[in-house]
Amino acid sequence: MIEPDTKSWTWVLDRPCPDCGYDARTISTADVAPGVRANTAVWRTVVHDRQRPDERTWSPLEYACHVRDVHRVFHERLHLMLTTDDPRFANWDQDETAVAQRYGEQDPAQVANEVQQAAYAVAGLFDGLDDQQWKRPGRRSDGASFTVASLARYYLHDLVHHRHDVGA
């Protein structure tokens, strides 16, 4: 098996993820919003687990906090792509955010609610996009280019992969 070049974001769009099995090539734009909403159920079932499997791996609660923040970041990025010509996204350091927001100390019930609220907000933006909107461009701070469609498939991989990370 050829290992993906995980230094580049594009590998997840070109081949199945060797860890979680997600295959972006099978995802249509119509699959995105329902996929985002469906992913929220797992976080309610695992969010109360604060136990880290080892010191380098987040607990399910910490992963849930991260997923909530992924939804929020992608909501902002999608909104920018839909309202600004070829926006450049601010950098987001997920590890710094986890420490600063003390993921492991957050209230699990509140986090579960926030995951669902944030997910549904993003899914609502994806609902009803027209063909031209799916083609709108945007760029990460490292210069990597996306369309709304490729960003959506990339985003959905993040959600599926983190579900896999917590064993759900």
Fold held by 33-165? Four Helix Bundle (Hemerythrin (Met), subunit A) (1.20.120)
- Measured at the CA of 127, the angle between CA 123 and CA 129, to 5 degrees, comes to 125
Helices and strands, number each (H, E), in the chain: 7, 2
Contact criterion met (CB below 8 Å) for 42 and 54:
no
pLDDT tens digits along 145-164: 999 999 999 999 999 999 99
- Using the predicted structure, report yes or no on whether residue 2 has a pLDDT greater than 80: no
Q: What pTM, to 2 d.p., does this model score?
A: 0.92
Domain residue limits, the chain: 33-165
| Top-confidence residue, 36 or 7 | 36
Which residue from 78, 95, 88, 93 is spatially nearest to 134, judged by alpha carbons? 78
- Using the predicted structure, report yes or no on whether residue 33 has a pLDDT greater than 70: yes
- Using the predicted structure, report yes or no on whether residue 4 has a pLDDT greater than 80: no
Q: What is the spatial distance between Cα 58 and Cα 90, in angstroms, rounded to a whole number?
A: 24
pLDDT tens digits along 135-145: 999 998 888 89
pLDDT tens digits along 92-142: 999 999 999 999 999 999 999 999 999 999 999 999 899 999 999 999 888
What is the reported pLDDT for 9? 58
Contact criterion met (CB below 8 Å) for 134 and 148:
yes
- Using the predicted structure, report yes or no on whether residue 37 has a pLDDT greater than 80: yes
